[in-house]
Amino acid sequence: MKKIVLAIATLLPLCAVPAHAQPAQMSAYAEDTVFGSDGYTSTDGEELYQTLCAGCHMPDGSGAVGAGRYPALSDNPNLEYAAYPVTLIVNGQAGMPAFGTFLNDEQIVALVTYLQTDLGNDFEPDATVEDVAIARPASPADPNRAEHE
């Protein structure tokens, strides 16, 4: 049963890729092995972005409009301070899925650091594992409840 749950949890983020995405928009990282038997194994911020985020926010962070609106992450002033992206990555919001159950604290810090220092952003990286721990819900989500109940 644990293997089935892990397999489903590993594949769920792949469902977030828009149906209209062309192969040219898909990241080369998606073909690399970043998924292991313990879930996501990469701790490289760029690799995590290209694997998990680029399908919606585009490889260059330019954002997209199509089946939904995916905000641009390049030149985005909302990323100046880590609290905002950490909270969104951990808990999700609206159409953005929560990645807090898939990524560990160090991976989220690496991803936020990449967002703050790349994609046209030149902010001082300030994410810490303590920030991520604070953003996580106090108790694990009940898998039998809807996300927004």
- Threshold 0.85, pTM exceeds: no
Return all residues near 125 (Cβ < 8 A) that are at least 6 apart: 82, 112, 113, 116, 117
CATH code given to domain 2-135: 1.10.760.10
At 16-55, the pLDDT tens digits run 444 444 333 434 444 444 555 566 789 999 999 999 999 9
Give me the residue spans of the domains in the chain.
2-135
